[in-house]
Structure 1
Amino acid sequence: MQITPMTEHTGAQVHDLDLSQPATDDIRRVLNDAFLAHHVLAIRGQTLTPPQVLQAVSLFGEVFHQHNTRFALPDCPQIHYLSNQDSFPDGRRYIPGEGWHTDHSNDIRPPKATVLHAVKLPSRGGDTQFANMAAAYDALPDETKERLAPLMAIHVYQSSHSARKLMTLSEANKERVPNAVLHPLVRTHPENGRKSIYVNPIRIEGIVGLDHKEALPLLSELIEHATQERFQYRHAWQPGDLVIWDNRCLLHKANGDYDMNEVRYLYRVMLQGDVPQ
């Protein structure tokens, strides 16, 4: 197994590993150490059935049950799919993952990681961009860090301020998804102790104690700062990629810059996380 960093701060690719076969404890340890060090792992050249995907992701943690069961695989509901072939009720194309965000931050215990396995890809385009929120936090002025330290954000399923609209939840899903949760604007990684900016423009409805006239510009400034190219890793997908990333210290977004007549279809699994602190 070979692990090669992609940038100085984020991303590494893994070669010469077959996740369809059981992994040793040594492989588990090396992969988890690499995950903590690089935040995104792209494990190349995998051809996995849904049960094999579950076996592979178990190397990193326990499965988190995703909020919108509309996209669950009927024969393996712990796995969902991402596809550019779905549409909103009004007929508009649904492009999953558009816009900078972190997954399911409206949960009391948001998933620590998301895993995607490429089943079918367009011939070009469709990259996923990642922004390292720990590196972005480190680059903030001290006075900004002090301002952010006590602030708590209100996370909901769909922020009324978000330009990106999500698929509506069914009544059954609404019953099991929190109406709103509070998370700090700066969270500490439970495994490495690093602080990160924790924002999500798709989910954050407001900041406790701040008027929207103050909260929304602050959030916009943080997003603009954190998504500078110097904090980014851009993943160009290859057939068979299995990519896992750390939601506790990254934002990500998918790019819909490809021919929509071509199919983009991936399996998605999330892993259980902790209450952000």
Structure 2
Amino acid sequence: MSYQFFSEREEVQYQHFSIVPASGALGGIVSGIDLNTQLTDAAFKEIYSAFLDFKVLFFYDQAMTPEQHITFARRFGLPQGPGAVPQLEQYPQIKEQIMDEYSSIGSDVNYHADDSFRDYPSKMSILRGLKMPQGGGNTIWVDMEKAFDTLSEPMKKFLEGLSCVHNLDKTFGRGILEGAGAQAWEDMMKRNPPATHPLVITHPETGRKSIYASQLTGVRIPELSEKESDTLLAMLFEHAYQPEFQCRFSWQDNSIAMWDNRCLQHRGINDFSPAYREMNRIAIIDTIRPSTNPSAQTPLQFDANAPYINVDELYDSANKPEMSYTDGSYNNTEDKLTVVAGSSDDHADVDPAFLAKLNAKKAEFSFTPGAAAQLKKIPAMFRGAALRSVFKAAGQKGISEINMALLNEVNAKRKG
């Protein structure tokens, strides 16, 4: 398909399902197909064709088990394994994204393509909404191909000679440094070294070009001065994130979105906190690096029959992480406590308002100041995962006070 809006395109008819545009720019809402069935090759081929055309597909009323989620995702490629986002227990391929009164989407989690800070980012993501809030928690996608195509020809030529450094530190670094300390920040960077990609990339299947830099991770254009880089990136973000290039999805329970990270960016809207939102996501790896010439890239070597690939393997040899997410101490949901545990002072100073908020949430539990101070250091997006683990341990032990001894005990158990 071209870069035209849907109103300018010739309508495509599908044999195995129906689809209507989600906006004028991108996105399709699919109906008339059950993704839990054993999809025929013909049906899957049509889904994939629609995926490339619409770039993000939406499905309602698709109740799935974790096993069915994995089975469907495996049709598209190899899932990514454990990383910074908590995993669903017993399913290392599935990222568990739960927001509640204890955790929320950070205000700094803005537009991004998944995993662009790795040498081999995600090709696509398949996100399930299990329990969704009413009237909030939408997600916006933006078409970076349209953003590139609507630039002037001289600007396009200028951008195609540049690259961009993608660094997870841009958004999360300061919060981890201030909240959890220098060692936690250093460990994060050792697990997630920055990656450099072309500023304009070519889609390996459609041949279309798009801007490959995001608010979340795009830190600099090394070919330019710092001032020039900051100015150019700010201009590109302002241009790319305009409403004409967007679509927005209103989630329901058992709905699914699957999107192409090679040409789209997205962000969640935090207008539902403290309501409960539970989602599961599988990231499918790309086998080549983002490039202006995909056919010239050397494919990533991996075991296609493995259940998933470790994120540490998604880097070239010259940029391998110094630390691993699969070294036995940081490979599941509760390990978010690893960042902060180790103290035994239950009387440490803590923000009184935060302590009062924790103690008001669950009548059956109370927190010591020291435990609250340690929990406050966990980034807001992950705090709920840590707290669920702590509540579970407290319930099993039949205790009502959550103190540093319990936090350290939970942490030691998760380390094995």
Query: What's the TM-score, normalizing by structure 2?
Result: 0.60
CA gap of 1:202–1:149, structure 2 versus 1, over 3 A, is: same
Query: CA offset at residue 142 of structure 1?
Result: 1.0
Whose Rg is larger?
Answer: 2
The residue identity in structure 1 corresponding to 2:105 is: I
Q: Does the 8 A contact of 1:161 with 1:205 survive in 2?
A: no
Which protein is richer in strand relative to its size? Answer: 1
Segments of 4+ in structure 1 off by > 4 A? 160-176
1:44-68 Cα deviation digits (max 9, x unpaired): 2111111110111123222123531
Q: Does the 8 A contact of 2:104 with 2:274 survive in 1?
A: no
CA gap of 1:232–1:160, structure 2 versus 1, over 3 A, is: closer
Residue-pair matches, total: 269
Partner-residue secondary structure (3-state), 1:131? strand
Query: CA offset at residue 29 of structure 1?
Result: 0.1
1:271 matched residue in structure 2: 284
1:166-185 Cα deviation digits (max 9, x unpaired): 998798876553x1211011
Q: Does the 8 A contact of 2:130 with 2:254 survive in 1?
A: yes
Q: Does the 8 A contact of 1:106 with 1:203 survive in 2?
A: yes
Instruction: State yes or no: 1:218 paired with 2:229.
Output: no
In the alignment, the residues of structure 2 paired with residue 215 and residue 191 of structure 1 have an alpha-carbon distance, to the nearest angstrom, of 30
2:26 matched residue in structure 1: 10
In the alignment, the residues of structure 2 paired with residue 176 and residue 62 of structure 1 have an alpha-carbon distance, to the nearest angstrom, of 21
- Structural mapping, 1:124-273, within 5 Å: 124-159=135-170, 176-177=191-192, 179-258=193-272, 260-273=273-286
Q: Does the 8 A contact of 1:162 with 1:203 survive in 2?
A: no
Q: Does the 8 A contact of 2:88 with 2:94 survive in 1?
A: yes
In the alignment, the residues of structure 2 paired with residue 140 and residue 68 of structure 1 have an alpha-carbon distance, to the nearest angstrom, of 35
In the alignment, the residues of structure 2 paired with residue 165 and residue 136 of structure 1 have an alpha-carbon distance, to the nearest angstrom, of 32
Query: CA offset at residue 214 of structure 1?
Result: 1.1
Moved more, 51-60 or 168-177: 168-177
In the alignment, the residues of structure 1 paired with residue 188 and residue 234 of structure 2 have an alpha-carbon distance, to the nearest angstrom, of 30
1:158-199 Cα deviation digits (max 9, x unpaired): 21699998998798876553x121101100000000000111
Q: Does the 8 A contact of 1:127 with 1:234 survive in 2?
A: yes
Partner-residue secondary structure (3-state), 2:122? coil
1:49-103 Cα deviation digits (max 9, x unpaired): 111101111232221235315x11121111011121385xxxxx43169311111
CA gap of 1:211–1:67, structure 2 versus 1, over 3 A, is: farther
Query: CA offset at residue 6 of structure 1?
Result: 1.9
Query: CA offset at residue 3 of structure 1?
Result: 2.0
Which protein is richer in helix relative to its size? Answer: 2
Return the match for 2:132 from 108, 112, 121: 121
Instruction: State yes or no: 1:85 paired with 2:95.
Output: no
Query: CA offset at residue 155 of structure 1?
Result: 1.3
In the alignment, the residues of structure 1 paired with residue 267 and residue 55 of structure 2 have an alpha-carbon distance, to the nearest angstrom, of 15
In the alignment, the residues of structure 2 paired with residue 165 and residue 122 of structure 1 have an alpha-carbon distance, to the nearest angstrom, of 28
In the alignment, the residues of structure 1 paired with residue 188 and residue 156 of structure 2 have an alpha-carbon distance, to the nearest angstrom, of 37
CA gap of 1:165–1:36, structure 2 versus 1, over 3 A, is: farther
The residue identity in structure 2 corresponding to 1:221 is: M
Moved more, 75-84 or 57-66: 57-66
The answer to which structure, 1 or 2, has the higher relative contact order (CA under 8 A, 6+ apart) is 1
In the alignment, the residues of structure 1 paired with residue 80 and residue 172 of structure 2 have an alpha-carbon distance, to the nearest angstrom, of 27
1:109 matched residue in structure 2: 120
Please list every run of 5 or more consecutive structure 2 residues that lacks an aligned counterpart in the other structure.
1-16, 292-416
Please list every run of 5 or more consecutive structure 1 residues that lacks an aligned counterpart in the other structure.
88-92
Partner-residue secondary structure (3-state), 1:20? coil
In the alignment, the residues of structure 2 paired with residue 161 and residue 20 of structure 1 have an alpha-carbon distance, to the nearest angstrom, of 36
In the alignment, the residues of structure 2 paired with residue 217 and residue 66 of structure 1 have an alpha-carbon distance, to the nearest angstrom, of 36
Instruction: State yes or no: 1:62 paired with 2:78.
Output: yes
The residue identity in structure 2 corresponding to 1:76 is: Y
Query: CA offset at residue 219 of structure 1?
Result: 0.7
Instruction: State yes or no: 1:38 paired with 2:54.
Output: yes
Query: CA offset at residue 8 of structure 1?
Result: 3.6
Identical residues among aligned pairs (%) = 32
Q: Does the 8 A contact of 1:98 with 1:256 survive in 2?
A: no
Partner-residue secondary structure (3-state), 1:17? coil
CA gap of 1:222–1:130, structure 2 versus 1, over 3 A, is: same
CA gap of 1:119–1:171, structure 2 versus 1, over 3 A, is: farther
1:230-276 Cα deviation digits (max 9, x unpaired): 11111111221111011111111100112x23201100110111200
1:26 matched residue in structure 2: 42
CA gap of 1:170–1:15, structure 2 versus 1, over 3 A, is: farther
Query: What's the TM-score, normalizing by structure 1?
Result: 0.89
Moved more, 54-63 or 137-146: 54-63
